Amino acid sequence: MKKLLIATKNQGKIKEIKKELTDFAMDIVGLENVNLPEDSAVQEPAITMEGNAIIKAMTYGNKTGLLTLAEDAGLEVDALNGRPGVLSARYASGTDKDRYLKLLREMQAVSDKKRGAQFRSVIAIYDPESEKIRTCEGIYRGKIIQTPKGKQGFGYDPIFLNENLGKTNAQMTAEEKNSVSHRGKALKNAKEILKKEFKQ
């Protein structure tokens, strides 16, 4: 069975990606399952999510020789001109909570009607044998609430409200989140690309 490397050490992302690809006929492994040199951490120097996803997919694919899926995602807030965007994971030092509390402080004066935001996920798939690379994305609209709610998920999930469901991402089950989220949408697109273009 062909292996598919998920190029991340973020356990929350790995869990979501594996759940979406469970019916896929591939042996799905994470970075913790492959032998990599100690200095193999990949920087994310690009100014776009697409750039970072491509860099990660190609770097880890070439290091391991495995078909590799890499993702970069971020929160884009309308009132902050798209910030934190590509810097979402590095928006403040410390924990996920430190990052979303910084965002809430920056939005203290923003009215309820202007708190629109979206999560965007970009996936890159790279095959080192053929040197083929493909990308796709998923977008998930919602709004930033003023007070964190929920214990599930990770990142900015406690402050991102799905208005249709009336829940934050952090109040959803994994199944609910994957059915509506940016990563879930991008993974559905990635599955089609894997079937059509990377089938062995």
Under 8 Å CB-to-CB from 155, ≥6 apart: which residues? 12, 75, 88, 89, 96, 99, 100
Residue 168 · residue 149 · CB < 8 Å: yes
Under 8 Å CB-to-CB from 128, ≥6 apart: which residues? 61, 62, 64, 65, 66, 67, 68
User: Which residue in 39, 72, 96, 157 is the catalytic one?
Assistant: 72
Locate tokens 């790995």: which residue?
14
Under 8 Å CB-to-CB from 187, ≥6 apart: which residues? 16, 17, 20, 21, 123, 138, 178
- Cis check for the bond before 84: say yes or no (omega within 30 of 0): yes
- Residue 72 is among the residues annotated as catalytic for this protein: yes
Catalytic residues: 72
